[in-house]
Structure 1
Amino acid sequence: MAVEVVVSDGAAAAEVVAPVKEVSGKAAEAVSPAAVVSKNGSFREESNFLGDLKGSEKKALAELRAKVEEAIVEGKLFDDGKVSMKKVVEENAEEGAVTEKKEEDQGEEEPKREEAEEGEKAVATEEKLPEAAAAEEKPEEEAAAAVVVDKDIALWGVPLLPSKGDDATDVVLLKFLRARDFKAGAAFDMLRKTLHWRREWKGFSDGDVGEELPAELANAFYLDGTDREGHPVCYNEIGVFADDAVYKKALGTEEGKARFLRWRVRAMESDVAKLDFKPGGVASLLQVTDIKNSPGLAKKDLRVAMYQVLDLFQDNYPELVARNILINVPFWYYAFSTLFYPFLTERTKSKFVVARPSKVTDTLLKYIPIESIPVKYGGLKRDGDNEFSAEDSEVTELIVKANSTESIEIEATEGDTTLTWDLTVLGWEVNYKEEFVPSDEGSYSIIVMKGKKMVSAEEAVRNSFRASEPGKVVLTVENLSNRKKKVLFRHKARSACAKKC
């Protein structure tokens, strides 16, 4: 079996995309994975290897390690700046001693004080002495009990005590350092606040809050595949809140808002559990937020809830999102963004990528392989696909120049062969048709799909044809616009012999 691309004007396509291969003219040529889709150079996750850090960064990491080590060993990691109970007892004791000294001095100055009063005070003091001693000892005991040394304390499954020697500890600490521009003191405060929040956050209790939310929200936030760097991709579809019934049930009451926030945090925890915090591992997510059909500014409670989520994630999940891609962004978003952008750090802002509806597939393709992008976003990935998988399907790219036509030929070298293919055109707006042309000149061609104008909103084409005789399926793309078009396709053939075997 072979694939042949026929260029009507005889010109060869020149652009390259990886990990797909490019075909041009009569030849199908493999392209090195090094030639990739143009993408942001800063997208690759920053190195977590100690040897790759700058001198100042190593110094900051060493300082933060020392602070965390000391805080855990001395049981002060959760110290929020309040005076310890032991210190209060000591200060009270000192104050008592000073008072006693003053009374003693005052007693010398007033020797004429009545002896009866002194006798009564002495008796009362003797009677209360055991109780007073017990009262002084009890706070000290409580203070000792309050200092809990938990050397096994962990965050996201990673031990925080540096002396344990786990490489993942430095990876987690580096996330807090980067979130605070490598200022060890600020990073330590952020870590401590995160641990306080996790200890007090009610959403981490055993109660199952997920079932209390509308079933439609199950598809609002979900993981699906990985990007080019191996980051898990989390999709967020805000359009589900356009349904008034769903919106009211999820966010119509104060209880519902709190429940939604707990559920969203739990979803984040589930996503983070899939990360690898070892040096060189994939330690962050790629977030894709689809604003299509979103109710927008009209739903105040949704706006507030999304801000709360963003605020919680920025404060308690630092550097766990490699990129935050917003797609199908309408004009009203720019007004909305002015409300929450001032509350974001510059580092968080730099991770946002915005794509208008006409640029969704092009934008996602910079970060995610076409075979891993869902069909509804212009990719080739289908739920429960039994025909193609990322491992056994090779995607080919073809450039259709302005005002030209190109044909892709998929050969069936023998009879009783089933040919299956996927094809998408970025931006579509082309004429497209499919036909089978037998090798025997005496046989008639068969129309597989009649020619039609494909609009920009079209999903990828998935079709198949059983060839009863040798021949080829011809896929024709006619570009009548004044802009070039990019075609991405893959195919497979299975003969009757292969089926029997």
Structure 2
Amino acid sequence: MGCNIAEEDFSTIIFEDENTPLSKLNPAVKKALQELRCKVEDAILGNYILGWSAKTCDCCMRDHHHANSQEHGITLWGVPLLPSKGHEGTDIVFMKFLRAREYKVYEAFEMLQNTLKWRKEFDMDGILDETFEPGLENVGYIDGTDKEGRPLLYVVYNPLRDINLFLKLLQNKEKKDQFLRWRVQQVEKGIEKLSFKNGGVDSVITILDMKYWPTGPAEIRRSVRKLLFSIYPDHYPEIIFRMVFLNVPIWSYALFNVFSKVLSQRAKSKLVITRPHKSAKTLLKYIAPENLPVQYGGLKREDDDAFLPEDQVSELVIRGGVAYSIEIAIAKPGEIVVWDVTVVGWDVSYREEFVPDNDCLDIISIQTETKMEANARSSFYIREPGKILLTIHNGTFKKKKVLYRFKIKPMVNPNLHNLRVGGLCPSISENNNTSEDFDC
């Protein structure tokens, strides 16, 4: 019973591209995958996929395998694990366990067994339907995708500063366990959005904002450590494509160094730790600016009626010591222009002006020059042809990347009396940061 395939040295292919199609796998990896398929098939049909026991140790005869049909429907993340069922996601799931164990077949099989046993002990059935303490939805949520379509799972500790929510989570042991279950539920919700198909999306990105990492009672911190250094690496192999830590306190670096010693080199490669001034630069490696929230240096706003995700974002690089103006030319009066500008790393000055084509008219200052510390969203109603100038002055010695987009739309009601010539549209401008739609 089973397959006998010789073990090979996989040290040179441990970090093989995770997106490699199954048809193009290294021959040695194909052998490892085939052997794992055989092991899992035998274990499921033999009714010992969850481990050996006195009841299962005599289940090695093939004729007896089919008497255990109730085990044949065993799945993980919605994917059938019995290879003979022919589901295209089965091999993709197996490859995750193989990569996590450096293509060592027995260790990958043991990891799969342990994961299935943990899910049974953790009572994962129905976890997606469980409800938790009100307020936790602001601590963790799914919002958008990265450049490759991976779901983005955000965890923000700021809401835990609410002492009432904090105390509710710590009332008793059951409540404390609920925080851990809630965090696991967030990952499972992200997995629901995965496809497990060749060329499909089969991993997520987790973003943890550590700015208000709780320093009080230790129960929540213990839950987080258990997730990061036990549950995730042991039971969600290769499901977390990257785990990005933002606003990491200096004192926590030592903590990461201690706990990372228990992780494999591959698991550690998933962790990305960044300081506040580099958060936007790091996140923009993975996430398009239109999908990254403004608080993290992107252009995405909640309930944004001005721009759509598909609206084009342009970028430019400004050298140190240079001022550069973005020009938005408008030839037709009676239109509204709205724009977004953000600078990766900030530390620049910024101003906004309208320059009429008619030299007899004065230049209108929309935003006086000021230090740029956040995303700029403004709008302007055009009464005569001209151009908007958005000027960024990079007074540092480093190059700065600028991301911007704009949209021009006809005015719905040009007869409004509260608009001055060439003025801001009051109903869509709030301190020069537009948050409403164009329709004044």
Q: 1:453 aligns with which of 359, 371, 374?
A: 371
Q: Which residue of 2 aligns with 1:111?
A: none
Counterpart position of 1:158: 79
Per-residue displacement from partner, 1:370-390 (whole Å, max 9, x unpaired)? Answer: 111100001101111111122
Tell whether the 8 Å contact from 2:323 to 2:394 is kept in structure 1 after alignment: yes
Counterparts of 2:70 and 2:357 in 1: how far apart (Å)?
80
**Residue 153 (structure 2) pairs with residue 234 (structure 1):** yes
**Cα pair distance change 1:203/1:279, threshold 3 Å:** closer
**Residue 294 (structure 1) aligned to one of 213, 234, 243:** 213
Offset of 1:469 from its aligned partner? 1.2
Matched, 1:55 2:20: no
C-alpha contact 2:46 2:56 (8 A) present in aligned 1: no
Which of 201, 210, 215 is the aligned partner of 2:131?
210
Within 5 Å, which residues of 2 pair with 1:341-352?
Answer: 341-352=260-271
Q: 1:231 to 1:406 in 2, by over 3 A?
A: same
Q: Establish whether residue 366 from structure 1 lines up as the match of residue 285 from structure 2.
A: yes
Residue 497 of structure 1 deviates from its aligned partner by 8.8
The alpha carbon displacement at 1:362 in A equals 0.8
Conservation of the 8 A alpha-carbon contact between 1:203 and 1:265: no
CA RMSD of the aligned region, Å? 2.7
Match of 2:298 among 362, 375, 379: 379
Q: Point out which structure has higher relative CO (alpha carbons under 8 A, 6+ apart).
A: 1
Deviation per CA, 1:427-471: give whole Å up to 9, x if none. Answer: 2222211111111112222221122222xxx22111110101111
The separation in 1 between residues aligned to 2:275 and 2:127, in whole angstroms, is: 41
**1:491 maps to which residue?**
406
Alpha-carbon deviation of 1:309? 1.7
Match of 2:49 among 74, 77, 82: 77
Partner of 1:247: 166
Distance 2:71 2:103 in 1: 26
CA deviations 1:109-144 (Å, max 9, x no partner) are xxxxxxxxxxxxxxxxxxxxxxxxxxxxxxxxxx99
Give the match for residue 326 of structure 1.
245
Consecutive unaligned residues of structure 1, counting only runs of 5 or more, are 1-41, 89-142
TM-score, normalised via structure 2 length: 0.84
Shift of 1:485: 2.2
TM-score by length of 1: 0.74
Aligned partners of 1:49 and 1:207: how far apart in 2?
Answer: 30
Q: What CA deviation, in whole Å up to 9, does each residue of 1:332-381 have, x standing for no partner? A: 11122134212222211111111101101111111111111100001101
- Cα separation, partners in 2 of 1:469 and 1:147, compared to 1, 3 Å: same
| Identity of matched residues, % | 42
1:44–1:229: 8 Å Cα contact kept in structure 2?
Answer: no
Report the alpha carbon displacement of residue 146 of structure 1 after superposing the two structures with TM: 9.3
Question: 1:299, CA displacement in angstroms?
Answer: 4.0
Is 2:400 the partner of 1:429? Answer: no
Within-5 A mapping of 1:23-34: none
Say if 1:71 and 1:396 are closer, same or farther in 2 by CA, change over 3 A: same
Judge which range, 402-411 or 460-469, deviates more: 402-411
Distance (whole Å) between structure 1 residues aligned to residue 127 and residue 19 of structure 2: 36
**CA distance in structure 2 between the partners assigned to 1:221 and 1:473 by the alignment:** 39
Structure 1 288/248 Cα, relative in aligned 2: closer, same or farther at 3 Å?
A: same
Question: What is residue 395 of structure 2 aligned with on the other side?
Answer: 480
* Alpha carbons of structure 1 residues 418 and 269: separation in structure 2 relative to 1, 3 Å: same
What one-letter code is carried by the residue in structure 1 that aligns with 2:406?
A: H
**Range that drifts further, 234-243 or 428-437:** 234-243
SS at match of 2:339: strand
Equivalent position amino acid for 1:322 in 2: F
What secondary structure does 1:288 align onto?
strand
In structure 2, the partner of 1:411 is: 329
Match of 2:96 in 1: 175
Task: Tell which structure's C-alpha radius of gyration is larger.
Answer: 1
- 1:125 counterpart residue number: none
Maintained 8 Å contact 1:68/1:77: yes
Q: Is the 8 A contact 1:216 1:240 kept in 2?
A: yes
How many pairs does the alignment contain? 397
In the alignment, the residues of structure 2 paired with residue 44 and residue 54 of structure 1 have an alpha-carbon distance, to the nearest angstrom, of: 9
Whether the 8 Å CA contact 1:413–1:471 is kept in 2: the answer is yes
Aligned residue for 2:286, secondary structure, equals: coil
What are structure 2's unaligned runs of at least 5 residues? 1-13, 414-437
Q: Normalized per residue, which structure has more helix?
A: 1
Tell me, in whole angstroms, the C-alpha distance in 2 between the residues paired with 1:207 and 1:369.
29
Does structure 2 retain, via aligned residues, the 8 Å contact 1:223–1:232?
A: yes
C-alpha distance in structure 1 between counterparts of 2:343 and 2:126, whole Å: 48
